[in-house]
Structure 1
Amino acid sequence: MPGGIVGADVAWVLVASALVMLMVPGLALFYGGMVQGKNVLSTLMHSFGALAVVTVVWALWGYSLAFGESHGGLIGGATHLFMKGVGTEAKGSLPHILFFLFQGTFAAITPALISGAYAERLKFSAFLLFTVLWTTFVYAPVAHWVWAPDGWLLKLGALDFAGGAVVHLTSGVSALVVALVVGRRRGARQPPHNLTFTLVGAGLLWFGWFGFNAGSALAANELAAVAAANTHLAAAAGAVAWGFVDLVRLKKVTALGAASGLVAGLVGITPAAGFVSPLGALAIGLLAGAACYGGVLLKEHLRYDDALDVVGVHGVGGALGALLTGVFATVAVNPAGANGVLAGGNWALLGKQALSLLAVAAFSALLTFVLLKVVQAVVGLRVDAEAEFEGLDPHVHGERAYHSGSLGGHGLTPRETPAPKTREAGKAPLGAGPVMEG
């Protein structure tokens, strides 16, 4: 084995890569449970499709654009096109190909996050083309700015440990643009068809996030341990904060709220995980849970249809986490970072975090709008009204998640749903399935 490679680091980052990959089917379940039964396969396919398509893009040119030789700190070049020079040679304490693999899992989950904004109405061909273009022209450049050795935001001194800006802010801002351009879903909003899926998916995301954040230490060391603890604390605090707001507003703590709150805490701690103390992580989780709750409510006032709350959770949470990194960061945790406002009265770091946030948000919004117009011109964006009414699963994929007579009657389309036999129409509880004769 070449000099410089550390076996313990290799073992940990291999595990972390698998954990981040597991987050993609976790996300599929998290999103899939929140849509109607007639669209669940379509929603799951956005996550699995992104994992497949982005991995190929990453190997052919995406990794090179993100981590190849820098051009002015803005974009990588052709250094690693078609995986040229990506082998078992050392990159830090890891084999280069393992660093490539780990970063590729981040690239794959990011456009999958955006899919929550256009669920239940986007053509699959539009999804595929948009995902390829977005990974190439948005994700790869921003990853270069923030994580490549010569990236301009890294050299500026902005901190992003595991992707607050690269993953969550880009996806959240892009989701807002997508929701506005694609437009609202037709018909009345329906309740989630299977919150059990959503809770299981949230649990898998919580589990996988240890790889996402602690793996970003790129070593089996003390920093990875701190990042792991901070991840867990922030997730728990986010769930508590969201649940508390639920209790105040609704007089009950909802299962969907618990799932959303823990994800909000995870999003908020992502940029800060390796820069703040455990108490700082608790504070960030609490603030993220409350702020993202407000972010989700905002869509009802502004009338955009972010179907699965990508903007409210990932956009708001990513932005807040980036700013709070500038408040809670301390070199006592990571000497390679910087002191923030609380640790050393360093307001300059907060300014750098704000500049990073504005630059990434503006770039993501502009490029996403342009790419959507390209996709619209080439293949169109939305399915037709009949497909949206009957469900994307049978129209787009030729399959159904559920069939008449099976458990979970929510797979029935509106035209197939039998009229209630024993209750007055319209009096069934919210989310209740068709009434079955005994």
Structure 2
Amino acid sequence: MDITSQVNTAWMLTATVAVTLMLPGLALYYGGLSRTKNILNTMMIVFGGFAVTAVLWVLVGYGLTLGDSVGGAGLIGDPAGLLGIQSLLGAETPEGAVPAILIAVFQLIFAGLTVGIIGGAVEGRMKFSAWLVFSGLWALLVYFPVAHWVFAFDAADGSTQGGWIANGMHAIDFAGGTAVHMNAGVAALVLALFLGRRRGFPHVGRPGSLPIAIVGGGLLLVGWYGFNGGSSGGINDSAGVAVTNTLVAACAGLLGWLVVERIVRKAATSLGAVSGMLGGLVGITPAANSVSPMGALVIGALAGVVAFFALGLKERLGYDDALDAVAIHLLPGIFGTLAIGFLADPSSPAGARGILFGGSWGLLGTQFVATVSVFAYTFIVTALIAWLLKITMGLRVDDGTETAGLDTSLHAETAYHLDDVRS
């Protein structure tokens, strides 16, 4: 392995460790927002969904996502020869490149986290067994195909053809505005609709532990450096710009939410701060290498505002997205993907030119078509999966289990021994 490959591999190993921190970060964030009686179940949903997806990724997911496109159509990868990613062991690494098996595990984490994000919609009312089955079916039928569309690029030598969004349309989605955040947000919305509202909605109780949620949000911020920075594939201009824009957008999103919250609700809350930060991070994810730091400030701040106002939709429209996966991931993800059409800076590593930099409306149109396509496909297929599970094994726990809490009913554990505290 040449020195450039060694350096790039070292960076990708670091990014992989960082992005893995997002798994406990997401579990803590969602767990802290859950009611006390469901904290462990919510964390189990994140870890369980990740585990199912990881196993499927090794078996067939890598090939379906990053394999040679079947028939050159750009719709799904061919897993032939890649089953169990066995063929990646000992594969020759081209000069300056990163070992394929390291890219495989990096992308595995993306897949598992995307499934975990969906779990924010189901707090306190979904069967754990149904969730695990849903995770597997959704990864196979939704995430792997969509990730192929967005993340699979044609090989320079023409040996491998990738997805239609990345190569046919040349849409910009650096680290997953469509494939990860919007994809998960749409699925969360569909599951919330099929599960129905929690008992007592919208007054269902307070978060179990805001400090835990805030710590989880902090871990997500750290992991996001790996999420966006690692999507560069090595040490290059994209990595530096992406990491810079990630932090800038996170801070702007936090402030954007708090300013609006102070105006509307007359208070600046800690939960609002971490929610705005995450909204900013989601917004910058697709645009991390295509805008300037000033553009990242704009996207981050506005994504935080979008997330704030999206939060009220569930009460106005009547769907119960328990932990706000729709507000934090779906709508800021859409916003960040479309904002590229306006704010793409030709001096950035992506080299694209947005409307505000003298570009045409073509880039915005491309981003719009990519967004609508992923939204429609994910909504329809997720609905079919949810419907199938609902009429077979059932999606929702019974009323008694929901009232008692899923921690004791499904896992025979409690997060806190409250009787000891009272004594």
Identify the TM-score tier after normalising by the shorter chain.
Answer: over 0.9
In the other structure, the counterpart of 1:126 is 130
> Residue 157 of structure 1: which of 152, 166, 170 is its match?
170
Say whether residues 1:273 and 2:257 are aligned partners: no
1:97-246 matches, within 5 Å, as 97-149=101-153, 150-155=162-167, 156-187=169-200, 188-246=203-261
Matched residue of 1:6: which SS? Answer: helix
CA distance in 1, matches of 2:414, 2:179: 35
Contact 1:234 1:281 in 2 (8 A): yes
Say whether residues 1:82 and 2:84 are aligned partners: yes
Contact 1:153 1:356 in 2 (8 A): yes
In the other structure, the counterpart of 1:364 is 378
In the other structure, the counterpart of 2:327 is 312
**Identity across the alignment (%):** 46
Higher helix share: 2
CA distance in 2, matches of 1:78, 1:218: 22
Aligned AA for 1:395?
S
Q: Which has the larger radius of gyration?
A: 1
> Residue 355 of structure 2: which of 338, 341, 345 is its match?
341
In the other structure, the counterpart of 1:22 is 21
My pick for the range that moved more, 397-406 or 267-276, is 397-406
Deviation at 1:337, TM superposition (A): 4.3
In the other structure, the counterpart of 1:405 is 419
Matched residue of 2:312: which SS? Answer: helix
CA distance in 2, matches of 1:345, 1:96: 36
In the other structure, the counterpart of 1:394 is 408
Aligned AA for 1:64?
G
Deviation at 1:69, TM superposition (A): 1.0
In the other structure, the counterpart of 1:46 is 45
In the other structure, the counterpart of 2:158 is none
Structure 1 unaligned residues grouped into runs of 5+ = 408-435
In the other structure, the counterpart of 2:58 is 59
Aligned AA for 2:136?
V
In the other structure, the counterpart of 1:419 is none
CA distance in 1, matches of 2:392, 2:290: 44
Matched residue of 2:205: which SS? Answer: coil
CA distance in 2, matches of 1:388, 1:81: 40
Q: Residues 406 and 241 of structure 1: is their aligned pair in 2 closer, same or farther, counting only changes over 3 Å? A: farther
CA distance in 2, matches of 1:29, 1:349: 38
Say whether residues 1:69 and 2:68 are aligned partners: yes
Q: Residues 379 and 249 of structure 1: is their aligned pair in 2 closer, same or farther, counting only changes over 3 Å? A: same
The number of residues matched between the two structures is: 407
Contact 1:87 1:95 in 2 (8 A): no
Deviation at 1:344, TM superposition (A): 2.6
Provide TM-score, normalisation by structure 1: 0.91
In the other structure, the counterpart of 2:318 is 303
CA distance in 1, matches of 2:247, 2:68: 35
Matched residue of 1:262: which SS? Answer: helix
In the other structure, the counterpart of 1:410 is none
In the other structure, the counterpart of 2:397 is 383
